[in-house]
Structure 1
Amino acid sequence: MKLTLGTVQFGIQYGISNTSGIPSDLALKEILQEAQVQGITKLDIAYAYGNAEERLGFLAENRFEIITKFPILTTSDALRTSFEDSLSRLQQNSIYGYLAHNADVLLQNPDLWTVLQEFKADGKVAKIGYSLYQPEQLEQLLDLQCVPDMVQLPFSILDRKFQEYLPQLKALGTEIHVRSVFLQGLYFMNPQSLPEKLRSLSPSLTQLQALCKEANCTVGDAALNYAVTNPYIDEVVIGVENASQLRDNCTSIKNWQPVPDLISALEALEIEDKNLLNPANW
């Protein structure tokens, strides 16, 4: 299964369309059990996700490969401390991936890349890298010879700013993880009921929903499989509110049948104000 389970909503209230809040321990156990049943092997976590690291350290029971992310830091000692603290909260001696939560921290403090390489050399992490928000970050880091084993970047039907970089990253041997395939749930909302700040997205969202209806598929099916079927993408990070939602997403992938001309029609949709595609601006 080409999915990584995102865990931000396990520690903080997250998502523009999330009405369920933070799941209970029982609900979280059910989600993790469903993930295991569905063949999902990776969890995406971060220091910034409230107490998600602690909860998953207690409940994940070493059943998954862990990818976590560190916050804004300025010194090598601070990074070493943050890393060890994350390992302690996760109850792990080593993890699969360790990423800068925002690539800017490495641009501002490039010496931190050496520390990440030390973690990898010591066998405490298998893959190092960074989470990206803008293509300029990737270009600048590659210029600094910070070639990542793994990146996480936004990618969805309406947000394709990294699409041209995917072949380059794959040629470098980078494992590519994408997030925000549903734009935090924006795709499921009523275009006429968007918050004022997002009102200009209403026409494109209306078109997106109409195209999917015409193709006899749901917006969720189209958005998820648009990323999953991309040959350059290794993992699609999604968050869920309950086990049933996760099961439905996995069923969507297993049952997906390509719809002729749908992809080209979806890719013809353009957003003028690209800043609105970044949930951080909401």
Structure 2
Amino acid sequence: MKITLGTVQFGINYGISNTHGVPSDEALKGILSVANEAGINQLDTALAYGNAEERLGMFADNRFQIITKFPAVTSQAELENTLEQSLTRLNSTSVYGYLAHNADILIENPLLWETLQQAKKEGKIDKIGFSLYHPEQLEKLLALNIIPDLVQLPYSILDRKFESKLVELKQLGTEIHVRSVFLQGLYFMNPDQLPEKLKPLTTALTELHAVCTANQVAVGDVALNYVIANPNIDKIVMGVETAAQLKQNIQMVCDWKADASLFSKIEAIEINDKSLLNPVNW
């Protein structure tokens, strides 16, 4: 299963279309059970996700590989302490992945990479890396000879700014995880009811919905399977609010029939203001 379960919704209210809020303990247990039964073996979390790490420490029961992320820190000692705190909350002695939540953290303080490498040697981390927001960040880090074992980056049907970097990363042996395949739910929204700031996307979103309607496929099915079909992408980080949503997303993958011509039509949709494809600008 090419899905990694994102957990930001487990600790904070998140997402432009989130209507359920943070799941209860029972609901969270249900989501994790569905994930485990479907063969999803990774969870993606972060210190910044409220109490998500702590809740995973209580309910994940060592059934999953955990990837977590650290915020901006001022020193190598602070990074060591932050890692130890995450491990304590996760009720674990090690994590599969430990990433800078924003690649700028490592660009501004490259010595932190040495701390991550040491923790990897000590067996506390399997894979070290960073979360990217802009292709320029990757270029700066590679120039510093900071070669990631694992990266996370945004990628979706309308936001393909990292396309050229995917092959480069695979050549370096990097495991590539992508987030925002539904662009925080934007693709599901009614194009005529977008918030004022996002109205410049109305035309593109209308075209996307029209292509999907003409081909008798749901927007969510197309958005998810377009990314899954990319051979350079190892995992899709996908958050859900309920177990029913997760089951629906898994079914989207299982039922999909490949259609290259459909993907080509979507790739032809033009975005005038690409900055609006980055949720930080919302």
Q: Structure 2 length as normaliser, TM-score?
A: 0.99
SS at match of 2:129: strand
**Aligned counterpart, 1:166:** 166
SS at match of 1:261: helix
**Aligned counterpart, 1:146:** 146
TM alignment of 1:5-24, pairs within 5 A:
5-24=5-24
Tell me if structure 2 keeps the 8 A contact 1:74–1:105: no
In the alignment, the residues of structure 2 paired with residue 172 and residue 259 of structure 1 have an alpha-carbon distance, to the nearest angstrom, of 30
In the alignment, the residues of structure 2 paired with residue 59 and residue 244 of structure 1 have an alpha-carbon distance, to the nearest angstrom, of 18
2:87 is equivalent to residue 87 of structure 1: yes
Structure 2: runs of 5+ lacking an equivalent: none
Q: 1:116-155 CA distances to partner (integer Å, 9 max, x unpaired)?
A: 0001111111000000000000000000000000000000
**Aligned counterpart, 2:195:** 195
**Aligned counterpart, 1:276:** 276
Q: Structure 1 length as normaliser, TM-score?
A: 0.99
**Aligned counterpart, 2:43:** 43
Structure 1: runs of 5+ lacking an equivalent: none
Q: 1:208-231 CA distances to partner (integer Å, 9 max, x unpaired)?
A: 011011111100000000111100
2:62 is equivalent to residue 62 of structure 1: yes
Question: Deviation of residue 260 (structure 1)?
Answer: 4.3
**Runs of 4+ more than 4 Å apart:** none
In the alignment, the residues of structure 2 paired with residue 272 and residue 81 of structure 1 have an alpha-carbon distance, to the nearest angstrom, of 44
Tell me if structure 2 keeps the 8 A contact 1:215–1:259: no
SS at match of 1:152: strand
Question: Deviation of residue 270 (structure 1)?
Answer: 2.0
SS at match of 2:67: strand
**Aligned counterpart, 2:263:** 263
**Aligned counterpart, 2:34:** 34
Q: 1:90-122 CA distances to partner (integer Å, 9 max, x unpaired)?
A: 000011000000000000000000000001111
The percent identity for this pair of structures is 62
2:239 is equivalent to residue 221 of structure 1: no
2:232 is equivalent to residue 232 of structure 1: yes
In the alignment, the residues of structure 2 paired with residue 269 and residue 77 of structure 1 have an alpha-carbon distance, to the nearest angstrom, of 48
In the alignment, the residues of structure 2 paired with residue 98 and residue 269 of structure 1 have an alpha-carbon distance, to the nearest angstrom, of 36
The amino acid that maps onto 2:34 is E
Q: 1:257-281 CA distances to partner (integer Å, 9 max, x unpaired)?
A: 0124111111111212111011111
**Aligned counterpart, 2:53:** 53
Pairs aligned (count): 282
In the alignment, the residues of structure 2 paired with residue 139 and residue 228 of structure 1 have an alpha-carbon distance, to the nearest angstrom, of 25
Tell me if structure 2 keeps the 8 A contact 1:11–1:51: yes
